């Protein structure tokens, strides 16, 4: 293997206890600005469901759905079953999937800031196209540009946050991305609630306001500093050290800098990171990078958030009531993310993921039972049961908000060594967007076919993913990002999968890095 002098991880030894520094205003502000990228993702999730329930929008672009919705004889669960309408929502995520692959190269070669900026510009263009759309083709083109923006933003922002944050608070600061996502969803729901009353052009305002977070993200991309990891990887060692000293608030950054240098040496020797990530030694991270985003989507959360107004209307709620209910779920999601930020670096990742999974299973089963017994076959939900359904949905969203919502992004962004980090994040984003596309495209048809059984379908997947975490995911709390790979050799299962250390250490004798003691021992940058 190339870069063998550093061993299989690129890091000579564990030295996390030597890390110094504190949380500075500089790093918090940088993370806040970067996390605005999450608000773009959240705004689109929230805005699309509300817009697709507005009569003027449906009448202009989807007249078949409009007529079906306003037909006196309704088929429960099936009013919105239309592949064209689904494509309006899902086309964004298919475009994002493709864009995220290219974004990996940009993120690695040109830095995290470059991808953040590209994402902001693409999303800005998409927002303008959607707000001014005169026909379906222009509308879909706008959605594709939004998807490109999300592909770049979701690729770069979690990496940026993980690399800027100190190890002991990385989980909380990384979750700024998810917090911004939930605030974006809540803002979109609030805007939909107001613009639904502005006829016939309220939907244009809803779609056009996406330009605001896109503009902030673009400006932030120009103003943010690059991460020390990326600067060192690009050969800008002196600048990397200066940024590291600034964000840690101390000049004594030797230990952390040494880890970055060693990881960078190995990263730069890897010419084909996607090929490298398939090697056996990277199997644990690859499995987690695939299954975490897969399970995150298969909770069913995106179905609820995309189609909240549509879903509530299909269950008998009126137009205003459905939008109001989606506002409530958006608010709960935002507040519950604060719980995760406050506890993730204290309690750890595993307990939140497992606890949230159990709560979500109970909620999905409860909704299925209520709808199975009290809705359908000419039955309408009574006011009391309608309120109960909203409460259970809020409990489900709360569980997701403090568990799989933020941690579905946090865990994959922190487990890869530098040489495969961009490729690993690209896989995470691509898998997330692929299953988001699949669910967005198929949910309305599944709802029509399965009816209340759709919630049992999602409950089954949540059960599987909760067991998966219990068996296969080690606790990553407090482990420095550059030493994360050493964790897999301590795990009862993954240490059986990974090849012996001797396979990587051959030829490394007599070629060791100097021990730390002063700045004189740091290799020349």
DSSP string, 410-441: HHHHHSS-HHHHHHHHHHHHHHHHHHHHHHHH
Residue 450, Cβ density class (10 Å: 0-12 exposed, 13-18 middle, ≥19 buried): middle
- pLDDT tens per residue across span 274-323: 788 888 888 999 999 999 999 999 998 877 776 666 667 666 666 566 66
CA distance 172 to 406: 9
- pLDDT tens per residue across span 428-485: 888 988 998 888 888 888 888 888 898 999 999 999 999 999 999 999 988 887 778 7
Over residues 231-257, the mean pLDDT reads 86
Which among 6-20, 36-50, 194-208, 242-256 has the top mean pLDDT? 194-208
Angle at CA of residue 141, ends 137 and 124, nearest 5°: 140
pLDDT for 139 equals 92
- pLDDT tens per residue across span 322-352: 667 777 888 898 899 889 888 988 899 999 9
Longest CA span, the chain: 82
The residue that leads in pLDDT, 181 or 500, is 181
The residue that leads in pLDDT, 9 or 480, is 480
The residue that leads in pLDDT, 421 or 8, is 421
CA distance 498 to 513: 25
- pLDDT tens per residue across span 135-166: 989 999 999 999 999 889 888 888 888 888 88
523 pLDDT higher than 70? no
Full-model pTM: 0.73
pLDDT for 14 equals 60
Which among 266-270, 313-317, 517-521 has the top mean pLDDT? 266-270
What is the CATH code for 8-499? Answer: 1.20.1250.20
pLDDT for 133 equals 93
229 pLDDT higher than 80? yes
pLDDT for 141 equals 94
- 224 within 8 A of 33, measured Cβ to Cβ: yes
- pLDDT tens per residue across span 72-86: 565 667 777 788 888
Q: Which two tokens stand for residue 47?
A: 């805005």
- 148 within 8 A of 99, measured Cβ to Cβ: yes
Q: Which two tokens stand for residue 219?
A: 């400006």
- 116 within 8 A of 220, measured Cβ to Cβ: yes
Q: What is the mean pLDDT of the chain?
A: 81
pLDDT for 486 equals 82
pLDDT for 15 equals 57
The pLDDT-based confidence of 517 (bands split at 50, 70, 90) is very low
Residues 6+ apart with CB under 8 A from 11: 259, 262, 263, 417, 482, 483, 485, 486
CA distance 311 to 389: 12
Question: What are the residue ranges spanned by the domains of the chain?
Answer: 8-499
- 418 within 8 A of 233, measured Cβ to Cβ: yes
> 3-state class of 19 per DSSP?
coil
354 pLDDT higher than 90? yes
40 pLDDT higher than 80? yes
DSSP conformation class of 5: G
- pLDDT tens per residue across span 88-136: 888 888 898 888 888 888 888 888 889 999 999 999 999 999 999 999 8
- pLDDT tens per residue across span 185-219: 888 888 988 898 898 889 999 999 999 889 988 98
pLDDT for 314 equals 62
Over residues 246-260, the mean pLDDT reads 83
Angstrom CA distances, 167 to 17, 18, 21, 482, stand at 11, 12, 10, 9
pLDDT for 74 equals 59
């Amino acid at each position: 293997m190339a870069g063998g002098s550093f061993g299989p991880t690129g890091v000579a030894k564990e030295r996390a206890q030597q890390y110094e520094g504190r949380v500075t205003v500089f790093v918090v502000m940088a993370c806040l600005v970067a996390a605005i990228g999450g608000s773009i993702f959240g705004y689109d999730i929230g805005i699309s469901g509300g817009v697709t329930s507005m009569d003027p929008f449906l009448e202009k672009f989807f007249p078949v759905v409009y007529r079906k919705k306003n037909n006196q004889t309704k088929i429960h669960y099936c009013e919105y079953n239309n592949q064209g309408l689904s494509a309006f929502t899902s086309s964004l995520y298919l475009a994002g999937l493709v864009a995220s692959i290219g974004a990996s190269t940009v993120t690695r070669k040109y830095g995290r800031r470059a991808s953040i900026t590209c994402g902001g510009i693409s999303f800005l263009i998409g927002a303008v196209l959607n707000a001014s759309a005169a026909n379906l083709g222009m509308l879909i083109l706008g959605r594709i540009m939004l998807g490109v923006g999300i592909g770049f933003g979701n690729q770069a922002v979690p990496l940026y946050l993980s690399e800027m944050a100190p190890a002991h608070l990385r989980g909380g600061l990384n979750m700024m991305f998810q917090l911004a996502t939930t605030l974006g969803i809540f803002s979109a729901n609030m805007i939909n609630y107001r613009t639904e009353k502005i006829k016939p052009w309220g939907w244009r305002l809803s779609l056009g306001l996406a330009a605001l977070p896109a503009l902030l993200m673009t400006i932030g991309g120009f103003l943010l500093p690059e991460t020390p990891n990326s600067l060192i990887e690009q050969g800008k060692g002196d600048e990397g050290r200066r940024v590291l000293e600034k964000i840690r608030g101390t000049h004594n950054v030797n230990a952390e800098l040494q880890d970055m240098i060693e990881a960078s040496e190995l990263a730069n020797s890897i010419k084909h990171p996607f090929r490298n990530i398939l090697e056996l030694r990277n199997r644990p991270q690859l499995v987690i990078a695939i299954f975490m985003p897969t399970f995150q989507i298969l909770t069913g959360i995106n179905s609820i958030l995309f189609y909240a107004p549509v879903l509530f209307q299909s269950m008998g709620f009126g137009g205003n009531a459905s939008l109001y209910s989606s506002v409530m779920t958006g608010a709960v999601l935002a507040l519950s993310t604060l719980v995760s930020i406050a506890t993730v670096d204290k309690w750890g990742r595993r307990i939140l993921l497992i606890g949230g999974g159990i709560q979500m299973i109970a909620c999905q089963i409860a909704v299925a039972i209520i709808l199975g017994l009290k809705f359908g076959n000419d039955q309408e939900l009574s006011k009391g049961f309608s309120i109960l359904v909203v409460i259970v949905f809020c409990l489900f969203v709360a569980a997701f908000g403090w568990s799989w919502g933020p941690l579905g992004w946090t865990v994959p962004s922190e487990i890869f060594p530098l040489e495969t980090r961009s490729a690993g994040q690209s896989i995470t984003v691509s898998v997330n967007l692929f299953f988001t596309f699949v669910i967005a495209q198929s949910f309305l048809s599944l709802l029509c076919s399965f009816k209340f059984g759709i919630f049992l379908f999602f409950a089954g997947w949540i059960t599987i993913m909760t067991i998966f975490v219990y068996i296969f995911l080690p606790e990553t709390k407090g482990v420095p990002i550059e030493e994360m790979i050493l964790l897999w050799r301590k795990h009862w299962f993954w240490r059986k999968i990974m090849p012996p250390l001797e396979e990587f250490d051959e030829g490394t004798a007599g070629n060791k890095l100097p021990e730390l003691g002063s700045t004189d021992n740091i290799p020349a940058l």
